[in-house]
Structures are given as structure tokens and as C-alpha cells.
A and B are shown apart, each in its own frame.
Chain A
Amino acid sequence: MSPTALTTPAGSTPTTAADTPVVELEGLSVAFGRGIHRREIIHDLSLSIRPGECLALVGESGSGKSVTARTLVGLTGPGADVRSRAQRFRGRDASAWGERQWTRVRGKEAGFILQDALSSLDALRTVGDEVGEVLRLHGDLDRGARRQRVVGLLASVGVPDPEVRAGQYPHELSGGLRQRALIASAIAADPGFLIADEPTTALDATIAAQVLRLLGDLKGGSTAMLVVSHDLAVVADLADRVAVMRDGVIVEEGSVQAVLEDPRHPYTQGLLAAIPSRSSRGRRLTVVGSDQGHGHARSQPDGGQGIAAPREAPTPGRPSLTVEGITKAFGGPGRGRRTAVDGVSFTLHRGTTLGIVGESGSGKSTVARIALGVEAPDAGTVHVRGRTWGEHRASRDLVARRSVQMIYQDPLQSFDPRKTVRQVIGQAAAAAGTPRTARAGRVLELLDLVGLPADRARARPLDLSGGQRQRVAIARALAAEPEVIICDEPVSALDITVQARILDLLTDLQDRFGLSYLFISHDLGVIQHISREVLVLKDGVVLEHGPVAEVFDQPGHEYTRHLINAIPELPAVRKDLFRP
């Protein structure tokens, strides 16, 4: 086991031990599949992390960032062909390690934190058992001592009532507490190296901020850390260095400051420009020339120039949708009844966007369903085009109904997987009264509007990428020539550059057709980018309502301040960056 003097000449001497990188990869390539199915997804990748250092691996889905992170602890996956010129773990040659050697390292010298602690913790075991497992595997503590240590660990990551929590199951804990418990299990054996793979992705903003702070606390001292994320803003505070990955290659690497303030690679520039925020209002998120994307949206008058003149805020027209004092409670009578929406009122003006923000369970989606007219409120009214939902028989509201459409976070679930895109959109066109003979042309027209090439009409939803599916969903909504589109987290499941393109598309369509959007999102950056007014919901009650600038500059409510403070801030991004 001990390395020979030849292979690691200075690795064992104490003077250099402190400087020895915790992990080193040189020329890593990873491929999956055999024969003609073989596909290399990591190409010639090198990285190293020193003690006390935090490296962020940033990239979009499919960039290979998670595979790289897993390879660092020998968990690339079954059937993976992993090759490298050198792989070292704390100076030891790890390139030929088998399962036996890796099991000694995992947990003890390297802790791993995955996203979504609900599925990353064993649902059939108590949180205490999960955290204690690391101690059982790598320590010689007896049962009682382990239990005490587990309680101590849970307390140290900020879990209140750790004795009680240790005996509970993951589903009995909130998302934030689960993530903390998962972190506790990763640091239980004091590993000195932590890998966090999208540690905050599944969490509400305020909870995510707390978890980031916790990770920041763990970073101090000699602990090395690798943070994998799709979100540059998330890692900006935490990391010392950033490596931007795309298609299995690190395209740019450097200190956080250098990469964020002076990105050299066009892809990094595009990524940064794509982040929606207060300062991105009125400009396009997609940088011209940096990226793929579909031609149509960019051929709009203002589209060809990157950020030309900021788009004028549309002047509000007449009310498109008026909601007055809607209230809705769910559950049986008596104690089980829960008020999801309580006296919500707002007016959505023609050609504008009203953002609704709030954390999970705040009643956002219920408001959307009531506004759409598929859910009847217990009290209150919804007026659309001079009609009121529920006043007449549903058939008499048809025209009004058509004028309100909806797009969802996951359009795939709203498509019949056996139908082609043409059928999906054609059906919507038929429902909107487009005559049979005109339908084929209408479908092509709609596809063109949302920037999809005509040949996609033959595809089925499963063959499309996430961004393309959302475009189809938008085309389907447009088929009815609506005045209002309710967007329920329409970009939350998308990668940042895809999100940017969809947001740009929505803005273009709004300008062109005077659409009004009721835009629901948990992402305040997106809301600030796209909305004119914003509504802050908490527990079904409107806490604040007003123009975006007002609400975000002078939040009148503690909760809003809380939400705003939780937005991960990028250090001053160069303003001139997005000029062509």
C-alpha cells in the first residue's frame, strides 16, 4: 500500500504535506457504453484542489460536472470507462484503486452531499441512523457514543432539537433540515474534503441561503471543497476558484473574481449574461453570437443587437384580468381545513407582467388555477374580458376562457406522449376554432413564432429537449390567441442559457401581441427581470404588491426583506460585457 519513493518522491515528507492537493486529476476522460454505443462525455479534464480551498464546477446539464465530481471518489458509475494520466488523492496514486481502497476513503476522507435530501436519505431509516452510519463504518465508537456524536453533529449543522430529530424519518423533516442532516452525515467522520453536488437546487431561496452559509462555515481551516452547481451566483460567495464546464471540457478556470468580472470564454460570457436579475431588465439575456439557439426570436427588430436600447417598459393598458378577494381552503371541514389562498386581489393590465413570488406552499399555484378558471374560489371573483368565472355555465364562457392560457413548469406532463408536436398544437388550434383546412398552416406559423424549425412538427414530446418542449407549450398557448398567459414556474426546470432564451421569447411575444403574463416563480431574479409589478405571497396572503422597483427597494415587510437577502448576489458583473 505505501507509495514507493519513486512514484511520489516528496509526497510523504511533512513540509510539503500541507501543500499537497487533496485531489488531483490529470487528463481525465470518461466514457460510457461499448462498441458503437460508446460515448465519451469527459475529455482530457484536469483539476486539483488544495487544502482549505473551494473549487466550484459550474455547467449546465449534460456538461459532465457531476460525473467528474463522482469520479473523484471512485463512484463514476457502473460501466464507466475511466482513464486518466494521473489521479491522486492526498498525494496517493489513486488511478488504479479498486472498490476496496475507495471504500476506505469515502466517508472517512471525502464526504459527499447530494441535492434533494429527500431522495438522498434512506426514507426507511431514521435520520440518526443515516448520520451514524458513517461513524459505524469508519470509527470504533460504541452505540451509545455514536448516538451522542450524531446528536452533536446535527446540532453543529444547526438542526434544532437534535435528540428528537435524530429519531425521525426524512419525510418528517422540512427540506432545509433534511439538507442539514445530509451535510451532517457527510462531515460525520471529519473528512477534510467535501463534495457538494447541487446542494441547494431543490430548496427555497431563504433555505438555500442558510445552507450556503452552513457550507461556507465548513469551508474554513484545512477542509477542501468541491461545489458542483448550474448556478454561478450560488457558488460566487462560496468558492475560491471557478471552473466552467461545457460538454465534458473545462472551458475556463480561474479565481471567482477573475472569471465573474472578466470572463474570457464566450460561453462563460453567455452564462453570465443569461442570469436574469434587476440589472438585466429590458435587455436580452441571450448574447448574440455566443451560442446556439433558434434564429427567429433574434430576427426581431431589437433582437439583433445584443442589448441595444433597453426596452421601454410597456405602458399598461386596460385590465386583462381582475382578481378580487379570492379565498380558497382545502381539506375536510374542521381542523384539517387549510386556507391556501386568503383574500387575494390584483389587476393584470394588458401588455404587462405581474410576478407572483412566494415559497413552496404559499398558495401561488392555487391563485393560478383560480385565475385560469379551473378551480372555483370559495369567495371572491375573477373577471376576464368583462366576464366573471362561474357566473354562467362554463360553455358560455368559452371565448373568455380561450383568452386565458397556461404554461407549466414541466410541459412534458401536459402533453400526450403519443401525439406529435403537430397534433398537440393542431388540437389547440382546433379548440380555438381554426378551421380544419387552415390548421396545418397555423401550426407552422405558431412553430415559427416560438422559434422552432418546421421539421420539429413531426417530433414527439419525448424527443424534444426541455427548452423545445417549453416552446411547444408556448405555441400551444398561443394557438388560442390569448390575451393572458399564466406562466407557472415556466423556466424553473431549465438550464440557465435555455431559461434565457425562453424568457427572451416571452418578452418578444409580449411586445408583439400585447400579451399579459401572470408570472409565477420562486426565483426573484427572474421576477425582477420580467415583471412590471410584483405580488409577494406568504401562507395565502398578499404581503406586498407594487411595482418591482418599489417592492425590492423598499420592502415593506420583514418577509420580503428576508426573501431579497436570500438572493445570491454576483459580484459586480461588468456592465459593458454584453455589448457586441
Chain B
Amino acid sequence: MAVLRRVLTRLAVGIGVLWGAATLTFLAVYLIPGDTALLILGGPDARPTAETLAQVRADYLLDQPFIVQYGSYLGNLLQGDLGQSYRLRLPVTEAIGQQIGATAALAAAAVVVALPLTFAVAILSAHRAPWIRSIVSGIEVVFAATPTFIIGFALLIVFSFTLRWFPIGGNQGPAALVLPALTLALAIFGTLSQVLRNELEDVLEQPFILTARSRGMRDLPVRIRHALRHAAIPVMTMSGFVVAALLGGSVVVETLFSRQGIGSLTLASVYNKDLPVIIGIVLLAAAVYVVVNLVIDLLYTLIDPKVVTA
């Protein structure tokens, strides 16, 4: 019951966030200088006639007051209509739909690599001899601090140009996914692993860890069965930000490895001032963020009994 109420509250908040994102993007577009009708017709180079321009303004309600435009925008959104891409001459939903699969695969692959790596490294290195910790933590800092495109380049040079194990780019087959996914995964690992190890080290100092060991539990089971759940809570909070970063990271990675996906779509749309697509992507990002945080919130209730009763 408490859990249900919690979920409903969060859901309501999430809808509020989406509405806010939609409104802000609309405002941004509305306030951007320049003639939207001209953009729709292909920019100033298209040299449209005055009649065509007027026609477009009437079609897109651009001659109406702000509140009418905003109302029709929200109304269309509610029906799932994000409008037409100026550039692709496609409904925005379709344009995004074509690309989302590739990016989802990339993000999923990155998470699948990053999480086990993070947990394994943090669990094994927490509270160990100082030299082990310095080495591991040094590596993590390098991954966390190096810009994604440099990690990607390094991987390309080693595994594509030199060893020729993986293709340089493209979307063909799972082999093409390895290096992009690894690039994203290493950046995630570098950040999360440090957080997780610090948390684990705090938890391992707690008296209940001593109690568990005094029962005859071995070190590794103590870390996994007792310490990990406690340490995972702040890491989960971080994961929300990581997912948001994944979208940004995919822009870089997809460009670098010349992959199809939301990242490259974003980039192309920004170059061409394809506003409906940009709005669509912003809303998609907001939606993903809301959903991920909702899921994390539910996971809290699974991990920490106090969240439910509180």
C-alpha cells in the first residue's frame, strides 16, 4: 500500500517533469531569433515566395498568439504527435523510432559491461592493501577523467587499426558494437567504481560487519551478502545521473564510430536547426530520466526496508 502510494506520487512528479521539459523546449524555440517558417522551407537559401511563407505560417499556426501555439503544441504532444522533421520530411516519432534501437543497444551493452566490472573491481579492491587501492583507483581516475572521444580513439588505435579485431565503425553486427559500448562502459566504470568502493569501505567499518564475521562468515561472502546492499544505495542514486550521461555520451561515441543512433540524429538535427526533432529528443531524454529514476526509487524500497515504513 505504502509502495503503491509512493509509486503514484513519483509518477505524478514524473509527469510534471515531462510537462516542464516540454514547456521549456517550446519556450526556447519560441524565443530563438529567426523565422521559423523560413526554416521549415529550408532556410534563407531556399528563397521562398511571400505567399509560400504566409501559407506555412498559417499551416503551423505561426501567425497565432503565443497561447494558441502553446495550446496546440501541448494538444499534439498528448496525442503523441511531435510534428514533422523539417529535414527528413518524416514525422518526428518515426525519425526517432528509426534510430532509437541502435542507441538502446549501445547503452544496454555499455551498462551490461560497466556494472559487473564496477561491482567486481569495487568489491575486490575495497579495504585492501594501500598499493592495490592506489593502482585500481588510479586506473579509475584515468577512465573517469579522460574525455570519451580520447578513450574511443585509444581503443580504435589498439583494437581496430593495430590488432584489427573489431571494425572501425558502422552498425553492422555485434562486432561493431564492442568498441563503442566499451568506450561508454569504461567512463561509467571509472566514476561508479570509485563511489562504490568508498561506500563499501565505510560500510566495512560498521559493527554489523564484525558481527557477520564473528559468525564465521568468510570475507568475500560478508562483502557480497552484507556490505554490498548498503553500499549499493548511493550508487543507485548515481546511476540516475549515469543514464542521463549515457545519452550525451552516445552523441560523441556515435559520431566517433560513425554509428546510426539518437546521438548522430541529435547532431544532424542541431546542425540543420531541425527543431521538431530536437524537441522530440529532449522529451525522450526527459522521459528516460523520469522512468529510470522511478525504477531506482522502486529498487530503494526493495533494498531498504526503512524507505517503505518511513
Contact = CB atoms under 8 A, between A and B. Distances in A.
Given A116-B207, A119-B207, A124 B218 contact: no
Given A78-B127, A124-B304, A182 B218 contact: no
B172 interface: no
Nearest to B229: A124
Interface stretch (A105-113, A244-252, A514-522, A535-543): A105-113
Interface in A109-135: 110-112, 114, 116, 119-125, 130, 133-134
Interface in A166-189: 169, 171-172, 182, 185-186
B142 interface: no
Contact of A108 (B207, B216, B226): B216
Contacts of A182: 211
Contacts of B216: 102-108, 134, 137-138
Contacts of B49: none
Contact of A124 (B127, B207, B211, B230): B230
B92 to A, nearest CB: 44
A431 interface: no
Given A114-B210, A119-B208, A124 B215 contact: no
B206 A107 contact: no
B45 interface: no
Nearest to B309: A172
Interface string A444-484: 00000000000000000000000000000000000000000
Interface residues on A, range: 35 or more
Interface string B173-213: 00000000000000000000000000000000011101111
Contact of B215 (A119, A134, A169): A134
A99 B211 contact: no
Nearest to B233: A124
Contacts of B303: 124
Contact of A106 (B207, B213, B304, B305): B213
A99 B229 CA distance: 24
Contacts of A496: none
Contacts of A172: 309
Interface string B7-40: 0000000000000000000000000000000000
A106 B215 contact: yes
Contact of B219 (A99, A105, A119): A99
B217 to A, nearest CB: 6
A120 B214 CA distance: 11
B62 to A, nearest CB: 52
A169 B218 CA distance: 23
A119 B208 CA distance: 6
Contact of A103 (B218, B304, B309): B218
A273 interface: no
B5 interface: no
Interface in B266-310: 303-306, 309
Contact of B217 (A78, A103, A119, A171): A103
Nearest to A138: B216
Given A99-B218, A99-B219, A137-B217, A124 B305 contact: yes
Contacts of B211: 112, 114, 120-122, 130, 182, 185
B226 A122 contact: yes
A182 B304 CA distance: 20
B217 A133 contact: yes
B215 A137 contact: yes
A365 B151 CA distance: 58
Interface in B78-100: none
Contact of A169 (B127, B226, B230, B305): B305
Contacts of B305: 123-124, 169, 171
Interface in B126-177: 127
A182 B211 CA distance: 9
A123 B127 contact: no
Contacts of B304: 124
Contacts of B206: 119
A75 B217 contact: no
Interface of A: 70, 73, 75, 78, 99, 102-108, 110-112, 114, 116, 119-125, 130, 133-134, 137-138, 169, 171-172, 182, 185-186
Q: Return the 6 tightest CB-CB contacts between A and B, nearest first.
A: A112-B214, A107-B216, A107-B215, A106-B216, A120-B207, A169-B305
Given A106-B214, A107-B215, A137-B216, 10 more contacts: A103-B216, A114-B207, A119-B208, A120-B207, A122-B208, A122-B212, A122-B230, A124-B303, A125-B226, A185-B215
13 contacts: A70-B210, A103-B218, A106-B214, A107-B216, A114-B214, A120-B211, A122-B208, A122-B226, A123-B230, A124-B305, A133-B212, A134-B216, A138-B216
